[in-house]
Amino acid sequence: MVMVCYQCGCHLSEQDYCTSCGADVSLYKKILSLSNFYYNEGLEKARVRDLTGAIECLEQSLKYFSRNVEARNLLGLVYYEIGECTEAMSEWILSMNVEPKKNIASDYMQRIQNNPTRYDAMQQSMKKFNQALEYCRQGSKDLAVIQLKKVLSLSPRFVKAHLLLALLHIDNEDWEKARRELNKALSVDRGNTQALRYLSEVEKMLTPDDIERNEKRRKKEDSVRYQSDNELIIQPGNLVEGTRSGFSMVLNIVIGMILGAAVMYFLVFPSNQKITQEEANKNVQSISEQLDSKTNQIQQLQNQITTLENAKQQLESELDAYEGTQGRLKEMDQLFVAASVYLETKDVNQTAQKLDQVRENVKLEEQSEEFLSLYQTLLGLVGPELSKSYREQGYVSLRAEDYDAAIESFTKAVYYDSNNAEALLNLGDAYRLKDDSVNAIAAYNKLVELFPDTDYALKAGNWLGRLDGMED
């Protein structure tokens, strides 16, 4: 390190004052010498890979003189070597700030920046290490181990990661793995006191002198461990076979059998019975559900049968009405026969006979509109002529003093032609001559009412006066 005057910046000589400005630099030179001394110490330690020691010396050097560029650059290099890349970069940046020109730190920085893969690996390893540390603090040690292995695949010389992984292996009592990690850490940093301390503990666990000591611990954990080549064998303590006498072995077997039988009797059999009973209950429940379902189905079917029977009865009654001797089909047939007779023969008497049969057998008030329409049409076609015929028959019977026959004929005449006033008058006459004054008055009154201003009405009025006088 070149010493310069703190006042004028000139190079200092062997004198205790500045040869340029005359400032007293004796103490200042001592300070710089101390800084230089620690730098040299650090350099020596770094050369023998005591990197922890080197870091301590170089930091000390920088405490004396922070502008010691060589010390800072070396400190950065040592940090870089142990995987502390960000620390290294910080040192180099500070160094470049002190000495911007002809500084190897700028070369280091350039190399890092020119290798993006390495730069990215550095970033990732830092993040993953911090994540692993967080996992450790949260108690997720398995995850931490996985994460640390990733870190070390990215940065194999990351001493802090080796140490943490070793600590996790120690905690897991995986001594061999811990030793392997510690050796890796020490191969990078030979003077790492933390690694050395861990290793001494691990070695104690693995050296034969400590078997007895380990036994105490193993007994506590009820397990047996022994070293076989590079593997640590862990065997549960309850599998260790001691020297037992034949009697105790037989006794133990007998006790075991009794216990086994007891377990079978008290636990297994009731359990099986319970299982069987549960299965039976399930079957019963299933059958019961099926039975309920069938019962519901039967009930539904019975309801359907009842409904269908009712419908059947209704249909049968309707069918009887249509098909019976008194049924509507018969009635229709009779009316069709009457219509057919009239259309084919134009014979009024035959048609009248058929219409009479219809009138006798059919309740007209219960018939359909179409039936009545056809009936009235036929009646209108044959009625007047038929009425005239019946009136003539009645008149013959009246002349023969056969009043009953006359009344019957006149009634039909009036029926077939309600406008036949003469027939109505003759009907009243027939009743009157038969001395049936009640029906006679009824017939005359009807005539007076229906045909008021006719000669028939006048005659009927006369007879009404006489009959009233006779009754009085």
Partner 1 sequence: MPGAEFDWEYEMINFEEELKKFQPSTEVDDIKEDIYNRSATDVAGVFEQMFAKKEETVEEE
Site for partner 1, rule CB under 8 A: 6-7, 23, 27-28, 31-32, 34-35, 62-67, 84-87, 89-90, 93-94, 119, 122-123, 126-127, 129-130, 133, 136-137, 160, 163-164, 167, 170-171, 194, 197-198, 201, 204, 213, 216-217
Return the sign of the alpha-carbon dihedral for residues 118, 121, 125, 127.
positive
Taking the least distance from each CB to partner 1, the nearer of 23 and 442 is 23
Q: How far is the CB of 286 from partner 1 (least distance, A)?
A: 59
| Cβ-based nearer residue to partner 1, 201 or 436 | 201
Taking the complex as a whole, the smallest distance from the CB of residue 194 to partner 1 amounts, in Å, to 7
SS3 225: strand
Burial of 357 (0-12, 13-18, 19+ CB in 10 A): middle
Nearest to 36 by CA among 82, 10, 69, 9: 69
Output the smallest distance, CB 283 to partner 1, in A.
59
HSE (CB half, 13 Å, CA atoms) of 291? 6
Q: How far is the CB of 271 from partner 1 (least distance, A)?
A: 45
Residue 350: Cβ within 10 Å count: 16
Q: Taking the complex as a whole, how short is the minimal distance between the CB of residue 141 and partner 1, in angstroms?
A: 9
Q: State which residue, 149 or 213, has the beta carbon closest to partner 1.
A: 213
Q: Give the C-alpha separation, 155 to 298, whole Å.
A: 82
**Do 445 and 427 touch, CB atoms closer than 8 A?**
no
Residue closer to partner 1 (CB basis): 201 or 385 = 201
Our CB check for partner 1 shows the closer of 119 and 371 to be 119
Instruction: Find the shortest distance in angstroms from Cβ 208 to partner 1.
Output: 16
Structure tokens that stand for 178 in this block: 């811990």
Instruction: For CA atoms 48, 53, 54, 57, give the dihedral sign.
Output: negative
Least separation in angstroms between residue 129's CB and partner 1 is: 5
Nearest CB to partner 1, comparing residues 23 and 104: 23
Q: Which CB sits closer to partner 1, 34 or 433? A: 34
User: What is the β-pairing status of strands 223-228 and 231-236?
Assistant: antiparallel
Give the per-residue SS3 of 257-315. Answer: HHHHHHHHHHHHHHHHHHHHHHHHHHHHHHHHHHHHHHHHHHHHHHHHHHHHHHHHHHH
Output 148 or 413, the one with its CB closest to partner 1. Answer: 148
How deeply is 37 buried, as exposed, middle or buried, from its count of CB atoms within 10 A (0-12, 13-18, 19+)?
Answer: middle
Q: What is the dihedral of CA 316, 321, 322, 327, to 10 degrees?
A: 140
CA distance 330 to 133: 109
Pair 387, 421: CB distance under 8 Å: no
Taking the complex as a whole, the smallest distance from the CB of residue 82 to partner 1 amounts, in Å, to 11
CB of 46 to partner 1, least distance (A): 21
Which CB sits closer to partner 1, 21 or 261?
A: 21
